[in-house]
Amino acid sequence: MPRGRQPVPLPIGMLAGAGAAFFVLPLIGLILRAPWANLWPDLTAPESLLALRLSLVASLSATALALLLGLPLAWIYARVVFPGRNLLRALTTLPMVLPPVVGGVALLMAFGRRGLLGQVLDTAFGIRLPFTTAGAVLAETFVAMPFLVLTVEAGLRSMDRRYEDAARTLGAGRWTVLRRVTLPLVAPSLFAGAVLCWARALGEFGATITFAGNFPGRTQTLPLAVYLALETRPEAAILLSLVLLAASLVVLVALRDRWLGSA
């Protein structure tokens, strides 16, 4: 197929340009306004390092939790037909469109000290999730896991199931098929889903501040630190935002090139 330059109709070109500028301009603004001279001192300030470390720990834990719970969920969605499957899928992907603050309130109703399950956890085991790092991980998982589930489900649906059948006819047990055939075949979407999930968890703000609160080193992740620094140290806020931006951009560009089909 010839892929020569297609003439772009002027109105489409102009609107597309405006659309692109809409996203690029804020980035340029951040980069131009960033006090680069303070880069090192601001990023290595104790509160920045604390937030950076917590963000890494929380977002990686959230991704691990999402893999543990989301992978089986994606498999069920892709392979098992049961009544209410579409409704359940819609419910479990709701956090993608829900305002994260609403998600945070909903989490309080479920896992808060007076929440449906939280009450039991507190009275029976003395476990309280709000205001803890575990709570921050939970909030991030809630918002980010749908990205993993949807990506892996799509991968499972698009794979050629005849490989699984062939393995089974050759005498492989269900676990062997899953481990040696299914998972390697969906590995690209598994990886893409995990990375998308991680990036979303890294940027999570609303559900975290609502459910887990804000305390340095415990629940104050990078996005929360950015929000608070904006009030006291705006320059540091810009630099911290750039760290988040750079991480997300690397993820998206890498995914686009390797797994989501390059243009």
The binder of another protein chosen from 95, 130, 146, 203 (CB under 8 A): 130
The binder of another protein chosen from 18, 22, 170, 231 (CB under 8 A): 231
Contact 223, 208 (CB under 8 A): yes
Contact 69, 145 (CB under 8 A): yes
216 binds another protein (CB under 8 A): yes
The binder of another protein chosen from 95, 100, 103, 112 (CB under 8 A): 112
For the CB of residue 198, give the shortest distance to another protein in the complex, in Å.
25
User: Segment contacting another protein (CB under 8 A): 34-42, 82-90, 168-176, 211-219?
Assistant: 211-219
46 binds another protein (CB under 8 A): no
The binder of another protein chosen from 98, 178, 230, 245 (CB under 8 A): 230
Q: How far apart are CA 208 and CA 111, in angstroms?
A: 13
User: Segment contacting another protein (CB under 8 A): 85-93, 128-136, 140-148, 254-262?
Assistant: 128-136
234 binds another protein (CB under 8 A): yes
The binder of another protein chosen from 213, 248, 251, 252 (CB under 8 A): 213
What are the E-state strand segments in the chain? none
For the CB of residue 150, give the shortest distance to another protein in the complex, in Å.
25
Q: How far apart are CA 42 and CA 49, in angstroms?
A: 9
User: What angle, rounded to 10 degrees, do the helices at 234-258 and 222-232 form?
Assistant: 150
223 binds another protein (CB under 8 A): no
160 binds another protein (CB under 8 A): no
Contact 239, 43 (CB under 8 A): yes
Listing DSSP states for 117-177 in one string gives: THHHIIIII----TTSHHHHHHHHHHHHHHHHHHHHHHHHHHS-THHHHHHHHTT--HHHH
The binder of another protein chosen from 219, 225, 238, 241 (CB under 8 A): 219
The binder of another protein chosen from 6, 86, 169, 232 (CB under 8 A): 232
Q: Comparing C-alpha atoms, which of 250, 246, 239 is closest to residue 30?
A: 239
